[in-house]
Amino acid sequence: MQVIVETLNILDNQLADTKKEVLLQWLSLVGPAILLVILFIFLEVKPFQVSDPYSINVLSLQGDPVKGEGIFQMNCAGCHLSPMNSQVGPSLERISQHKSDLAIIKQVVSGETPPMPQFQPNAQEMADLLIYLKQI
């Protein structure tokens, strides 16, 4: 009987060691990826985000929110009625909390989300519009 108990204890320890070994192997493979994801989230880094020259130019400029509001009223308010009450398009209130500056620029100039038309403001106009959108 003693031999059976000792044999079961040895098998139990071997299984525990095998489980530990498998877990360590899994962590060595997946662990670095998990750490990178956590780092990207913590630092708010957008991996593989490449900016085009237009966006880089827009982001280098100082925007004027008063001019941006005028651009919004002339080009956006028809669908986004006002910052707080949307009509055809979604509300743009706190849009900068949901989208990065680059994502906002891309949305405005691409027209990839129908029925939003493609809009090609010059870099200064886009900087003005961007600073206005960040305030609403």
**pLDDT tens, position by position, 46-105:** 544 556 899 999 999 999 999 999 999 999 888 876 555 556 788 888 888 989 999 999
**The pLDDT of residue 116:** 84
Q: Is the pLDDT of residue 27 over 60?
A: no
Q: What is the CATH number of the domain that holds 58?
A: 1.10.760.10
Which of 56-89 are b and which e, b meaning 16 or more Cβ less than 10 Å from the residue's Cβ?
eebbebebbbebbbebbeebbbeebeebeeeeee
Residue closest to 127 by CA, chosen among 37, 59, 43, 33 = 59
Token pair of 7 as six digits: 């044999």
Q: pLDDT band at residue 113, thresholds of 50, 70 and 90? A: confident
Q: Residue 123 belongs to what domain range?
A: 53-135
Say which amino acid occupies 32: P
| In a shared domain, residues 64 and 87 | yes
**The pLDDT of residue 11:** 56
| In a shared domain, residues 27 and 70 | no
| In a shared domain, residues 36 and 64 | no
**The pLDDT of residue 61:** 96
Please tell me the pTM assigned to this model: 0.61
Q: How many domains does the chain have?
A: 2
